């Protein structure tokens, strides 16, 4: 299962974001409930200054958790961006290799075509020499058609 998660980093990031959001939401609801319970049961004992201090502490805590969540999302996003750039570099390398192979194939095809032309010329020379040999061997007055066996 871990191999599958490693191969799909975007899924891992999504799961981490969902978990962080759920934890943040649950934590915020718990804080709000505690605050509401404190307001209900300690209304007679809490002073206004205590209440303001408690509210400011809650706001600071929520800001800290928000910053942690943003940092986690940014780290995950940067990892995904790095992975995508690695794929782009790989594609560039493949394209360069294909161009090199294409040039090598062009050179090899040119060499083969030169050899084919050379063989054609040798073939023409062999036919010409074969005709000369036949004329010398059988004479040019012979009207029979000789067949090769």
Tell me which H or E stretch contains 66: helix 48-138
CA atoms within 13 A on the CB side of 7: 4
DSSP-derived secondary structure letter, 42: S
**Closest to 12 measured CA to CA, from 71, 80, 65:** 80
pLDDT score, position 140:
62
Domain ranges of the chain: 2-98
pLDDT score, position 22:
93
Strand, coil or helix: 46: coil
pLDDT score, position 12:
76
**Closest to 112 measured CA to CA, from 120, 141, 14:** 120
Would you give per-residue pLDDT tens digits along the chain (149 residues)? 567 766 777 887 888 899 999 999 999 999 999 888 877 776 666 577 777 888 899 899 989 989 998 898 899 888 888 887 777 777 888 888 999 999 999 999 999 999 999 999 999 999 999 999 888 888 765 555 555 55
pTM of the complete model = 0.36
In whole angstroms, give the CA distance from residue 102 to residue 146: 49
Strand, coil or helix: 133: helix
How far separated are the first and last CA of the chain, in Å rounded?
A: 74
In whole angstroms, give the CA distance from residue 20 to residue 87: 28
């Amino acid at each position: 299962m871990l191999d599958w998660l490693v191969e799909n980093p975007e899924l891992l990031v999504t799961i981490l974001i969902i978990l962080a959001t759920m934890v943040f939401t649950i934590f915020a609801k718990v804080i709000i409930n505690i605050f509401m319970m404190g307001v209900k049961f300690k209304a007679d004992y809490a002073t206004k200054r205590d209440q303001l201090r408690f509210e400011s502490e809650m706001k600071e805590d929520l800001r800290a958790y928000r910053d942690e969540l943003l940092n986690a999302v940014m780290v995950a996003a940067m990892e995904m961006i790095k992975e995508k750039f690695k794929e782009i570099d790989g594609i560039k390398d493949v394209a360069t290799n294909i161009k090199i192979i294409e040039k090598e194939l062009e050179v090899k095809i040119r060499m083969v075509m030169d050899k084919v032309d050379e063989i054609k010329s040798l073939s023409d020379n062999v036919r010409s020499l074969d005709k000369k040999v036949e004329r010398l061997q059988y004479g040019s007055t012979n009207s029979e058609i000789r067949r090769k066996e």
